[in-house]
Amino acid sequence: MNNFQFKNPTKILFGKNQIENLTNETPKNAKILLLYGGGSIKKNGIYNQVIKALSNFEVIEFGGIPANPEYEVLMDALKIIKKENITFLLAVGGGSVIDGTKFLAAAALYKGEEPWNILKNNERVFKGLPFGTVLTLPATGSEMNSGAVITRKETKEKFAMGGPGLFPQFSILDPQVVASIPQRQIANGLADAFTHVLEQYMTYPVNGLLQDRLAESILQTLIEVAPKIMKDTTDYDAAANFMWSCTLALNGLIQQGVPSDWAIHMIGHELTALYGIDHARTLAIITESHYTLNFEDKKEKLAQYAERVWNVTEGTAEEKAKAGIEKTTAFFQSLGIKTKLSEYTKDYKGTAELISKRFEERGWKGLGEHGKVTPNDVEKIVKMSY
C-alpha cells in the first residue's frame, strides 16, 4: 500500500427532513447567497424547506446555474457576492450547482487577474469563502470533496479545479429529494458514481486489500440498487443507499494508498465541452475503449473485478478480465445509456484528432495510473468509441 495523508472536513447530515438543520449549521449573522439551478427546487418543495430553515437569515438568491456550470453565468454571481458583501454561500442542487459554488468560493477571494486562470492553470485553492450544500441529485460526490469542473462556453473548454480550501463546511443529504429526479438523471448518477469507483480501482494491484474491498462494495451496492431506483424513485431505502454510495465513491476515502487513473474523465470532459453530452454518458462512451486499449496494464484488476463484483467464475484470468469489460458496458446499457459516440452526434468524425491535439497543446502527455497514455493513445481510444 502507498503512503497517504487524508483529511476530509465536511460534516454530513444524512436522512429524512435534515434540511431543517440548516438553521443550526449556517454560521450566525451570515449574509447568504443561495445558489441553485434551472428551477427544479421550486417544483419539488426543496426551495420552500430551505427558505423556511433560513427565515432568520439575510438571504439573496442567484438561480439559473446551468448543467455543466458556465463560467460566464458564474461571473454574474461573483458580482453579487462582491457588491453585497456576501459571507456564506449555500448551494442547493446537483453537481453543477455545487461545483459552480466552489468556483465562486475560490473566485471571491482570488487575488490574481482573471478568475478563469484558476481553471486554466489549475491553481490549487487553499482558501475559499465558506459554503454549505443541500444535495438534490446523487451522482458526483461534489458534496463531500474539494473538486469542481467548470465550462467556458465561448471556447468549448471544460476544466477541473480544486484544493483543500474547497470542501463544503456541511452537506445535507436527504434521500427524499431523489423522488423528483427524472430517470435520465438517475441513470447518470448511477453511471457517474460507478465510474468514479472504477477510476480509483481499475489500475494495478498494490495490496490495498481494504481499499479494493471498499471499492467493490460500492460497485456492488450500486448494481443492487440500480434496478430498484430506476423503477421507483420514491423507494426510500434504495434512494438512501444510492445517495450514500455516490458520496463515498468520490469523497477521497477509497483512493488513499492506491493508484488512480482518471483518463476516462479527462477524455469524457472533452465530449461534454464539444457536444454537450451529459457527463455520465461521456464516461460510458469512453470506458470500454480505454480498458481495451490499456488491457495489459489493467488485466489483473479487471479479472479481480469480474470475479468479485460480477461473480464471473469461468475462464482464464484474461477471459475474466474481458468479461469484466463487457459486464461494465452491459451495466451502462441496462440504465438506458448509449455507449457509442455516434449514437449521440452525427458530427463525430475528427473528434479523436481534435481531442488529441488539445491534450498535446495543453501538455497533457501522459494520462492514467502509469502516466503513459499519450495523446496518440487518446486518439485511438476516442476512435474506438465512435
Is residue 261 part of the contact set for Zn ion (CB under 5 A)? no
- What's the Rg (C-alpha) of the chain? 20
94 binds, among ligand NZQ, Zn ion, none (CB under 5 to 8 A by kind): ligand NZQ
- Cell reading at 103: 468556483
292: burial class by Cβ within 10 Å (0-12, 13-18, 19+)? middle
177 or 197: CB nearest Zn ion: 197
Query: Rounded CA gap, 47 and 139, in Å?
Result: 20
Other CB atoms within a 10 A radius of the CB of residue 18 amount to 21
Q: Is 143 in the site for Zn ion (CB under 5 A)?
A: no
Tell me if 270 contacts Zn ion by CB under 5 A: no
Chosen from Zn ion, ligand NZQ, none, partner binding at 139 (C-beta under 5 to 8 Å by type): ligand NZQ
Write out the residues near ligand NZQ by the rule CB under 6 A: 37-41, 44, 67-68, 93-97, 99, 136-137, 139-142, 145, 147-149, 177, 180-182, 185, 188, 192, 250, 265, 279
177 binds, among ligand NZQ, Zn ion, none (CB under 5 to 8 A by kind): ligand NZQ
**Which residues pair with residue 92 across a beta bridge?**
36, 134
> 6 in helix, strand or coil?
coil
Q: Among Zn ion, ligand NZQ, none, what binds residue 211 when CB lies within 5 to 8 Å by partner kind? A: none
* Minimum distance of ligand NZQ from residue 349's CB (angstroms): 25
Continuous H helices in 15-170: 22-25, 40-43, 46-53, 71-83, 95-108, 116-120
Nearer to ligand NZQ, 42 or 349 (CB): 42
Q: Which residue has the cell 465541452?
A: 273
Based on the shown chain and the rule CB under 5 A, indicate whether residue 192 belongs to the binding site for Zn ion. yes
Give the bridge partners for 150, in sequence order: 159
Q: Which residues contact 81 (CB under 8 A, 6 or more apart)?
A: 33, 89, 104, 108, 129
Name which of 263 and 323 has its Cβ closer to ligand NZQ. 263
Segment lying near Zn ion (by CB under 5 A), choices 187-195, 254-262, 313-321, 329-337: 187-195
Nearer to ligand NZQ, 192 or 312 (CB): 192
For residues 267 and 352, what is the distance between their CA atoms, to the nearest angstrom? 10
Closer to Zn ion by CB, 176 or 188: give it. 188
Query: Minimum CB separation from ligand NZQ for residue 72, in Å?
Result: 15
Site residues for Zn ion per CB under 5 A: 192
